[in-house]
Structure 1
Amino acid sequence: MYSSWTRRVSVLPTMNESEKPLVRQESWLIKVARTGLVAALYVVFTYLSSVFNLAFGTLQFRVSESLTLLPLIWGETVFGLTVGTLLSNLGSPYGVIDWVFGTLASFVALSLVRWIGRKGYSEWIAALAVSVVNALAVPFVILIGAMGLGSSTMGGVFLSSIYWSYAATIFAEEFCVVAFLGIPLIRTIKGRVLK
């Protein structure tokens, strides 16, 4: 005769192999490794761009910016890309201004990309968001870096026509890299790696 405890346990549902969830839980070690790898790739790609004078200044085609859409699928890459930006900006001719404001702008843009991914919006919206944030931040870094942090004209930077012409240029350059390199990268990862 079965006890009441045994009967209760025996009626609990069990999962067959076919019923097991398809969602794969990644270990923290994989996430840490991915974060470090993404940070390293960002630094390497930025320094490769700087060899051709395309990493800093008003003409920027950082190949590393193609990685900025990775938070659409992996949230931990926000941290990796932010660290990668900081390490890359250590070589910036604009110094501390770029270390602080450039890294902060990247963190804001990457967090926005992550939010866009969670809401289910398209890669194009994410590319647009990254481009707008950088178009607003990079000209500030360039102009303040050139004039100096203590400059009395610091507040008027956003009112200058130079700022807005730089912003338009940076937006176009950033959008080209993120949209035409980053979106195919994300779609390839979604299609091949995540399946």
Structure 2
Amino acid sequence: MKENKVTFLTQAAMIAAIYVVLTYVFAPFSFGEIQIRISEALTILPLFTPAAIPGLFIGCLIGNILGGAILPDIIFGSLATLLGAVFTWLLRGHSKFLGPVPPIAANTIIVPFVLRYGYGIVLPIPFMMLTVGIGEVLSCGVLGMIVYFALARYKGVIFTKASA
């Protein structure tokens, strides 16, 4: 039982750290009304382990703080990632291609309102939903599925049964 907790915490911490590093390294593309957050490719990981849920949330939270985001973005952007991760976990028994849908939907709906009311960007919200949505499809959908297929063959090695 103790091993399960250690495995869970280790996986969550590693996922959070990778998310932060990817967000920080690719910061010029990770923020704004037109963004492709490369770290969002990791939102596919709840299909492999529940440890990805806190890992993604904490990684997004720290990534937003280090990226200089304002408080509403830190809070609601991180909550969007948390919602996406939880619903991706809930879809794990269904088609793997549904895995990217929750984070795409959560960020497409929430982030434009943060951009409008937090940052004061006056572009129309439907337009920002389109631009954020396209970025999410690229990062979660395309890159996320590349991550999925790269990791799927190692599922029993990288993500042990203790994590599922």
TM-score, with structure 2 as normaliser:
0.87
Percent of aligned pairs sharing the same letter: 26
Answer yes or no: is 1:60 the counterpart of 2:22: no
Q: Rg: which structure is higher?
A: 1
Q: Which has the higher contact order (CA 8 A, sep 6+)?
A: 2
| Runs of at least 5 residues in structure 1 that lack an aligned partner in the other structure | 1-25, 149-159
Equivalent residue pairs, number: 156
- The structure-2 alpha-carbon separation of the partners of 1:147 and 1:181, relative to structure 1 and needing over 3 Å to count, comes to closer
- The structure-2 alpha-carbon separation of the partners of 1:94 and 1:31, relative to structure 1 and needing over 3 Å to count, comes to closer
1:103-182 matches, within 5 Å, as 103-117=78-92, 120-147=93-120, 162-182=124-144
Query: What CA distance in whole angstroms lies between the structure 1 residues aligned with 2:103 and 2:134?
Result: 11
The one-letter code of the counterpart of 1:97 is P
Alpha-carbon RMSD: 2.0
Q: Which runs of 4+ in 1 moved over 3 A?
A: 91-94
| Runs of at least 5 residues in structure 2 that lack an aligned partner in the other structure | 158-164
Q: Deviations over 1:58-110 (max 9, x none)?
A: 12111101100100110111001100010011134541011111111111111
- Aligned equivalent of 1:87: 62
Query: What CA distance in whole angstroms lies between the structure 2 residues aligned with 1:168 and 1:123?
Result: 24
Give, in angstroms, the shift of residue 182 of structure 1: 1.1
User: What SS does structure 1 have at the residue aligned with 2:94?
Assistant: coil
TM-score, with structure 1 as normaliser:
0.74
Query: What CA distance in whole angstroms lies between the structure 1 residues aligned with 2:53 and 2:65?
Result: 19
CA contact (8 A) 1:94 1:141 kept: no
Query: What CA distance in whole angstroms lies between the structure 2 residues aligned with 1:84 and 1:109?
Result: 14
Query: What CA distance in whole angstroms lies between the structure 2 residues aligned with 1:111 and 1:30?
Result: 19
Q: Deviations over 1:10-50 (max 9, x none)?
A: xxxxxxxxxxxxxxxx6321221111010000000001111
